Amino acid sequence: MVDHEVDTSAGTAVVDAEAVDRRGAVAVSSDGVLARVRAGAGELTGALRRVAEHVLSDPEAAARATIVELAERSGTSPATITRFCRAMGFEGYADLRLGIAAETGRARSAGWTVDIGREIQPSDPLSRVLNQIIAADTRAMHDTASLLDLAEVEKAAVAIAGASRVNIFGASGSALVGEEMQFSLHRIGVAAWAWSDVHEGLASAALLGAGDVALGISHTGQTRETIEMLAEADSRGATTIALTGFPRSPLAELADIVLVTASQATTFRPDALSARHPQLVVLDLLYIAVAQRTHDRAHAAFRRTAQAVDGHKAAKGAAS
């Protein structure tokens, strides 16, 4: 039976942090504290979620606040703050504060916080917009690096390197990311296909079996078509991999291997769009890891594919 806490300051019932822990809390690390809060906020409810939203809205102020001050500012209670810390994998509030302070300090010194979260105005010069995009993407890349489990990447690389067939599933923007991965794998001789149409994807997934691999891409992990295609592949015995921003999403729960990414939304680039670059970085890492494990075959295939298209390149010095 799940315990509940009633936050007397707001009268809202919230799931106890122990329930979050039982679903599989992210391992504690001094890096990526805010990324973990961002990724875990969707799993929280009521008062715990309000704490997460307040911390994310002003991390530097949260790092300076006492437990009582943070409780008052988030409209909760000190007990709720303690439960929130446990949900994020910290023993107490002091550890959470230190983690946030260290991360915001690194971000400030590296310039990642420049304009992040600020609304882009119609009159903003492109130089300001460019700086904001670079700052947001840099922060998302570093958050992804801190969240990513390299042991899971290793397992995915081994599975793909030994697979006779690799299917990649995704919809909309995730389909574009999947096509990039399919292109990269094909260049090193891995038989890979990318599917965005659910009918074609389901038909292809039905032909998979043990020894094959299926990769599903969805930032939210809730895209129904992608879940259906990966589930079909799973039912046929294929090894399943999920690339998502939410480690406890339906897609992640379905997969054998989960690769987690972070995102940093900006104006006109909500999470699903801002997640593309971190997704590509993780897939680039996975692609290189596969190439390392199939070095001779990959090197020969890459050389042959490069030679095959070489004749279509413009000769040096030719008129454009």
**In the structure, what pLDDT confidence band is assigned to residue 22 with cuts at 50, 70 and 90?**
very low
Identify whether 101 is part of a domain: yes
Question: Are 255 and 190 part of one and the same domain?
Answer: yes
State how far the Cα of 209 lies from the Cα of 235, in Å rounded to an integer. 9
Task: Say how far apart CA 53 and CA 212 lie, in whole Å.
Answer: 41
Domain containing residue 36: 31-108
Q: Is 10 within the bounds of a domain? A: no
Same domain, yes or no, for 104 and 147?
Answer: no
**Does residue 14 carry a pLDDT above 80?**
no
Quick check: is 14 in a domain? no
Total count of domains within the chain: 2
Tell me whether residue 25 is in a domain.
Answer: no
Same domain, 250 and 153: yes
Residues 154 and 220 in one domain: yes
Beta bridge mates, 14: 5
Residue 141: name the closest of 40, 284, 282, 242 by CA. Answer: 282
> Which pLDDT value is given to residue 192?
97
**CATH number of the domain that 55 lies in?**
1.10.10.10
Which residues, 6 or more positions from 311, have their beta carbon under 8 angstroms from its beta carbon? none
Q: What is the pLDDT of residues 155-191, one digit of tens each?
A: 999 999 999 999 999 999 999 999 999 999 999 999 9
Mean pLDDT, residues 256-282 taken together: 83
Last residue within a domain, chosen from 108, 135, 160? 108
Cβ atoms of 244 and 220 closer than 8 Å: yes
Instruction: Give the strand pairing for 4-7 and 12-15.
Output: antiparallel
pLDDT at 118 over 70: no
What type of residue is 234? D
Indicate the residue among 108, 131, 152 that finishes a domain.
Answer: 108
Q: Check: CB of residue 287 under 8 Å from CB of residue 263.
A: no
DSSP assignments along the chain, one per residue: ---EEEETTTTEEEE-HHHHHHTTPPPP-SS-HHHHHHHHGGG--HHHHHHHHHHHH-HHHHHHS-HHHHHHHTTS-HHHHHHHHHHTT-SSHHHHHHHHHHHHHHHHHHTTTTTTTPPPPTT--HHHHHHHHHHHHHHHHHHHHHH--HHHHHHHHHHHHT-S-EEEEE-THHHHHHHHHHHHHHHTT--EEEE-SHHHHHHHHHT--TT-EEEEE-SSS--HHHHHHHHHHHHTT-EEEEEES-TTSHHHHH-SEEEE-----BTTB-HHHHTHHHHHHHHHHHHHHHHHHTHHHHHHHHHHHHHHHHTTSPPTT---
pLDDT of 209-248, one tens digit each?
999 999 999 999 999 999 999 999 999 999 999 999 988 8
Cα dist from 75 to 60, 89, 284, whole Å:
18, 22, 43
Q: Per the domain annotation, does 123 fall within a domain?
A: no
d(CA 46, CA 7): 9
The mean pLDDT of 3-32, rounded to a whole number, is 39
